[in-house]
Amino acid sequence: MTLVEHIRAESARLAALCTACGACVTACPMTPYAAGVEAAPPAAVAAGMRDLLLDGPATPEALAWIAACTRSGVCSAACPEQLDAAFMLRLATWRAKGALGEAPRIPVKEDTQYSPKVKAFARLTLTEEEQARWL
């Protein structure tokens, strides 16, 4: 299974279990920092997130909530269905950033030092011959 297939499969699995009750949104400490989320019904924001996991367009409020996620994990503890809501948010974040090949729907931060960091780490673990071939 490829990573894209895994993201799709996990998205569909969790979305099918989610009732879009909104408890995760209500518990989230980041809603004051996500445009329009506090004014929207929590269930509607959750439904927008679930819609995104099912290849839908989501809603502006759901996208704002997804973009504001800081991985606190408070949402998972609040879920009455005992779903890993934080993982659902991670999946939604990847998808909203275009992980499946679509145009990004939320801002994507570029790490200009990503490649140098990978090379620095690789130098710690690769032989000199491997470094000569791959770096």
How near is the Cβ of 14 to ligand SF4 at its closest, in Å?
Answer: 8
Residue number, 19 or 72, with CB nearest to ligand SF4? 19
Residue number, 81 or 102, with CB nearest to ligand SF4? 81
Q: Are 31 and 61 contacting, i.e. CB atoms less than 8 angstroms apart?
A: no
70-109 positions binding ligand SF4, by CB under 6 A: 78-79, 81, 83, 85, 88
Q: Virtual CA dihedral for 104, 107, 109, 110, nearest 10 degrees?
A: 50
Interaction of residue 38 with ligand SF4, rule CB under 6 A: no
Residue number, 15 or 120, with CB nearest to ligand SF4? 15
Interaction of residue 62 with ligand SF4, rule CB under 6 A: no
Beta-carbon contacts of residue 47 (< 8 Å; ≥ 6 apart): 20, 59, 62
Residue 120: strand, helix, or coil: helix
How near is the Cβ of 77 to ligand SF4 at its closest, in Å?
Answer: 10
Q: Are 42 and 75 contacting, i.e. CB atoms less than 8 angstroms apart?
A: no
2-31 positions binding ligand SF4, by CB under 6 A: 18-24
Q: Are 49 and 92 contacting, i.e. CB atoms less than 8 angstroms apart?
A: yes
Q: Which spans of this chain sit near ligand SF4 (rule: CB under 6 A)?
A: 18-24, 46, 78-79, 81, 83, 85, 88
